[in-house]
Amino acid sequence: MGLKIATAERTQFAHAQEERRGAAFEFNVMKFAGGEMGEANGMSGDGSIIRDNEQAPTVWVGTTFGFAALLLSEGMKEEAYHAAWGLYHVIYENKGYWFRTPEAWDISGNFRASMYMRPAAVWAIEVMLSSSAPMIKKSQSSVNRVEK
């Protein structure tokens, strides 16, 4: 009896997490600058940018790469690449940050902390794509970690 309850709770928890990741992508990536700048830190429930905190209306490069790696690990490949593409679009196509990738930028592209180290989180995506990285395999009853 206890095992059935634990399995049901784990399944419910996994489903709730999946919904939250999808909502974070829809609100913080797609509703910020039309999905072309990465994942914003703060978006309100109505899809508007939170402006009462100086960090909420900004995209943190390292955090977006980390979020993209999480999405990849959960099988959300299209969403992961779109979030990472937003960073590429700003860094290489739109603002020319290239070898001085900043910590963060706002919707206008104004940045802070040029040549910041957290953007090195892009390597988390490489780890998730490598053959030695554990990936998440989803089943109907629970989420199981499976080594490749």
Which residues, at least 6 apart from 98, have a Cβ–Cβ distance to it below 8 Å? 91, 92
The predicted pLDDT at position 85 comes to 97
Q: How many CA atoms lie within 13 A of 48 on its CB side?
A: 4
- Alpha-carbon distance of 85 to 93, in angstroms, equals 10
Higher pLDDT, 29 or 148: 29
Residue 123 has pLDDT above 90, yes or no: no
The predicted pLDDT at position 138 comes to 53
The predicted pLDDT at position 137 comes to 56
The predicted pLDDT at position 139 comes to 46
Backbone angles phi and psi of 144, in degrees to 5 = -115, 135
Residue with tokens 């490489």: 126
Average pLDDT, the chain: 83
Q: Please report which confidence band the pLDDT of residue 78 belongs to, taking 50, 70 and 90 as the band edges.
A: very high
User: What is the CA angle 38-40-43, rounded to 5?
Assistant: 140
Domain boundaries, the chain: 2-146
Q: Please report which confidence band the pLDDT of residue 118 belongs to, taking 50, 70 and 90 as the band edges.
A: confident
